[in-house]
Amino acid sequence: MIGVRRPRAVERGRRMRFLVLGGTQFLGRAIAEHAVGLGHAVTCAARGLSGAVPPGARFVAIDRDRPDGLAGLGRDRFDAAVDVARHPGQVRRALAALEGRVGHWTFVSTTSVYADTVTRGQRAGTAPLLAPAEDGPYGAAKVACERLFGGDALICRAGLIAGPGDPTGRFPYWVARLARGGEVLAPAEPEDPVQLIDGRDLADWIVRAARAGLAGPFDAVGPACTRRAFLERCAAALDASCTTTWVDPAFLDRHGVGRESGPFSLPLPLPDTIGDASRDVSATLAAWLTVRPLEETARDTLHWLKAGNGPVTGLTAAEEAALLAAWHAAERCYTAVPSNGRARRCQASPNGRRR
């Protein structure tokens, strides 16, 4: 169901009592910081293991893995609550503990809930979902979490979240790599789509949507651009001088290069599945999502990295150089076939090994 049910605090025009289940890292923290900045009374409830809550927010220690783990929240009431959990058991426990005491719920889900990762231009309201799985992998467990919330909740299916504070090292890989300049190895195809959202824009939208009582499923990600535009725009924003070598993903697979994250990978958002990176977000944009320029996200992420705060995961400079050398050697193995005039790969193309 998609609709608007404004929390009572908004109807009365007073500041909201805002609960973030989480709030000690990246997105949850950004939501809490933004809500504090708007003058709301913000409570962050977590174990406190991942970091500190932002200045101005109240911290309440809870442990969602324990049956009585939310007791620290007492009998407090909230106009709006946001949950970033990944485990249905944690969601179930929170909904039971806070029953009747939250005006509006937002659940931060993911575009990984979708079953079809190939078709372009899918919409949140109609795209088929994975089968829910209580202890399943990430996307299936998020579907199970979503189902626990009622029709009045906002189901915010985030795409790849970027910007300062990103603990995953994925977007920071591309920022750090481009800032270094020179020949950049990128996975083909250059015209494939890329989609991401700055965590600060997502935080702003979640707070505004909660104020308005927005309900139903929405994809929370910016409009798509091409991989080529992504790299060129980021490089220009960082004042970096780069050339791009587009490498066949099959070559990268043969060399053991990871596709999503971690060491020896070319991380998201580039090697993404088409369907995940080309979602039709017109409904979310119509519901007040505002997206800052990619250039700003890239520049701010670089500043954050330079301040020594963030991790970068992916290929090292030496690994990238070795792969580029192997790729160029493989390219030299292409030979012209006089009979039809088309290029053909020779049998003995080099096949490197993951280190």
Ligand X SMILES: NC(=O)c1ccc[n+]([C@@H]2O[C@H](COP(=O)([O-])OP(=O)(O)OC[C@H]3O[C@@H](n4cnc5c(N)ncnc54)[C@H](OP(=O)(O)O)[C@@H]3O)[C@@H](O)[C@H]2O)c1
Judged by the rule CB under 6 A, the positions of this chain that interact with ligand X are 22-28, 46-50, 62-65, 84, 86, 108, 110, 158, 160-161, 168
| Residue-wise DSSP of 66-124 | STTTTGGGTT--EEEEEE----HHHHHHHHHHTTTSEEEEEEEEEGGGBS-SSSTT--T
Distances (CA, A) of 222 to 158, 159, 201, 309, 330: 10, 8, 9, 25, 37
Least Å distance, CB 10 to ligand X, is 24
- State the nearest-atom distance from the C-beta of 341 to ligand X, in Å: 46
Nearest to ligand X of 90, 323 (CB atom): 90
Cβ-based nearer residue to ligand X, 57 or 242? 57
The residues facing 246 across adjacent strands are 186
Minimum distance between the CB of residue 179 and ligand X, rounded to whole angstroms? Answer: 21
Per the CB < 8 A criterion, the answer to whether 82 and 106 are in contact is: yes
Q: Give, in order, the Cα–Cα distances in Å from 300 to each of 114, 168, 296.
A: 30, 16, 6
Please state the closest distance from residue 333 (CB atom) to ligand X, in A: 38
The least CB distance from residue 119 to ligand X, in Å, is: 19
Contacts 24+ apart (CB under 8 A), 69-75: 69/93, 70/45, 70/94, 70/97, 70/98, 71/97, 72/45, 73/19, 73/43, 73/45, 73/97, 73/98, 75/101
We find the least distance from the C-beta atom of residue 90 to ligand X, in angstroms, to be: 6
Distance from C-alpha of 205 to C-alpha of 284, rounded to nearest angstrom: 9
Of 37 and 89, which CB lies nearer to ligand X in the complex structure? 89
110 vs 122, beta carbon nearer ligand X: 110
E strands, 238-346, in order = 242-247, 334-336, 343-345
Which CB, 61 or 343, lies closer to ligand X?
A: 61
Closer to ligand X at the Cβ: 87 or 233? 87
- Phi-psi region at 327: left, alpha or beta (left = phi > 0; alpha = psi -120 to 50): alpha
Nearer to ligand X, 26 or 230 (CB): 26
Which 3 state secondary structure label does DSSP give 51? coil
User: How near is the Cβ of 23 to ligand X at its closest, in Å?
Assistant: 6
